[in-house]
Amino acid sequence: MISRVKGTQDLLDLTLFNFAIDQTRKHLESYNFIEIATPILEPTELFKRSLGLQTDVVSKQMYTLGEKDEICLRPEATASTARAFVENHIQQTPWKVFSWGSMFRHERPQKGRLREFHQINIEAIGAPSIAQDALFIKMLDSLFVQRFKLESYALHINFLGTPDDRKKHKEALLTFLTKHEAKICKTCLERKETNTLRIFDCKNPECQELYKSAPQITDYLSQESSKEWQKLQEQLDILSVTYVVAPSLVRGLDYYNKTVFEFVSHDLGAQSAFCGGGRYDHLIKAIGGKDDEPSIGTAIGLERLLLLLEPIKNQLSLPQMQALSVIIPLETEQNSLALLIVDELHQNNICCDVLLDDSSLKSKMRKTNKMGAQWAIIIGPEEQQQKKAVLKNMVNGKEETIPQTELVKKIK
Ligand code: HAM
């Protein structure tokens, strides 16, 4: 047997998956977002330039191809959306768009962590006001509460300020880390040199204890940044969004500044974030746009959202399956007639299937039952001759013989 690639999965029942996408689509469209799609293959350079060379995604997790690794399977969709904005010369801002699809990261697979996973990616490009962030976060919060009936999650937010604010914070952090070098783990020592802010993601309890007293970015904000940070919290309060300020939330990608946030749920175990995002004011210029286009965006991890929805799916208004009719020709001589009946039922928008194998009636009835059919339509030589059919209600077991011309009316 040839097995699927590690960290990928076969999705054999898409009911909940499609429901999640449909509901999100409806919700976002009501906020005036439009759906787009970008390629799965992108130039590797796009992610190097946007996410940053030192990030885990670019330095360890990329699936690349081409002679010089110049093409890759996209690991996320923000850089792609930004590229599409620049390449297609979009003039009207904010450009409010969403897309969904597979992303690829070479990570160690575990619950909620795959190598091919799906995201719903949402971006508002050219949206400088911090009030936009409050609206964006409220939009997500109401998606999770109203459409998906989620209860046990928390929203973590932090404010990373401007590049200047971060520079000051980084200096203070480096001084702190140098002072405590003897107490920090090997990974943190490496990160100190390469991607300092990421020390806050360390899982080591001793490091975490130490970092409680480390300099926090929000203490190094300029007056203007501080005002924006206050304003954001005020507006979230006005909109009745419950949040937790998480000083160590830095997010793993380099393009963020100012607002960052994550929706987390303990029900997910170690991989607790099912939605994460933030503001990126300098990305558009960094990948070749003429000017900066201050923007905000997020991605929902579909697999993790589905882990949360699965246990409460009975409370969700999942689409009902259409009632199924199964046509059962008793012998192969009735197959042509069965095909004609199928055709007529389909033309009248009736969901139906036909059992064309030459097994016994008993086995065909058993199959019809397993298929969850509402109606069985049985035609043998006698019915064929008399232009009739036996219509059996599979729910209450009642059956009657009726003219074939009355089948549509009866089933409808
Ligand atoms: P991210 O935090 O890397 O952000 O991913 C967003 C979400 O995708 C995560 O919270 C998680 O639910 C899901 N996810 C990430 N990696 C995996 C994985 N290996 N397996 C399963 N699920 C995963 C971004 O991707 C940014 N582009 C979000 C964004 C959009 N920021 C601004 N705009």
Return the ligand 1 atom nearest residue 79 CA: 27
pLDDT digits 0-9 by tens, 283-306: 999 999 999 999 999 999 999 999
Q: Whose CA is nearest to atom 2 of ligand 1?
A: 276
Q: Whose CA is nearest to atom 7 of ligand 1?
A: 301
Q: How far is the CA of 297 from the centre of ligand 1 (A)?
A: 11
pLDDT band for position 229 (cuts 50, 70, 90): very high
User: Is the C-beta atom of 303 inside 6 A of ligand 1?
Assistant: yes
**pLDDT value at residue 252:** 82
Q: How far is the CA of 115 from the centre of ligand 1 (A)?
A: 12
Are the C-beta atoms of 211 and 218 separated by less than 8 Å? no
Q: How far is the CA of 209 from the centre of ligand 1 (A)?
A: 26
Q: Whose CA is nearest to atom 21 of ligand 1?
A: 113
pLDDT band for position 150 (cuts 50, 70, 90): very high
pLDDT band for position 203 (cuts 50, 70, 90): confident
67 phi/psi in degrees, rounded to 5? -60, -35
User: Is the C-beta atom of 105 inside 6 A of ligand 1?
Assistant: yes
**pLDDT value at residue 54:** 87
The pTM for the full model equals: 0.94
Q: How far is the CA of 203 from the centre of ligand 1 (A)?
A: 19
**pLDDT value at residue 194:** 87
Q: How far is the CA of 269 from the centre of ligand 1 (A)?
A: 16
Q: Which domains does the chain have, with CATH numbers?
A: 15-161+221-315 (3.30.930.10), 325-411 (3.40.50.800)
Q: How far is the CA of 76 from the centre of ligand 1 (A)?
A: 7
**pLDDT value at residue 165:** 95
**pLDDT value at residue 201:** 85
User: Is the C-beta atom of 113 inside 6 A of ligand 1?
Assistant: yes
Q: What percent of the chain has pLDDT over 70?
A: 100
User: Is the C-beta atom of 114 inside 6 A of ligand 1?
Assistant: yes
231-240: which pairs have CB atoms within 8 A and are 24 or more residues apart?
231/130, 231/131, 232/130, 232/133, 232/134, 232/157, 232/159, 232/259, 233/157, 235/130, 235/131, 235/134, 236/134, 236/137, 236/138, 236/157, 238/134, 239/134, 239/135, 239/138
- Other CB atoms closer than 10 Å to residue 383's CB: what's the count? 21
**pLDDT value at residue 216:** 93
pLDDT digits 0-9 by tens, 333-378: 999 999 999 999 999 999 999 999 989 999 999 999 999 999 999 9
User: Is the C-beta atom of 55 inside 6 A of ligand 1?
Assistant: no
DSSP code of residue 342: H
pLDDT band for position 404 (cuts 50, 70, 90): very high
Of 262-266, 315-319, 378-382, give the lowest mean pLDDT range.
315-319
Indicate the SS3 state at residue 378. Answer: strand
Instruction: Report the distance separating Cα 169 and Cα 166, nearest Å.
Output: 5
User: Is the C-beta atom of 141 inside 6 A of ligand 1?
Assistant: no
User: Is the C-beta atom of 275 inside 6 A of ligand 1?
Assistant: yes
**pLDDT value at residue 198:** 86
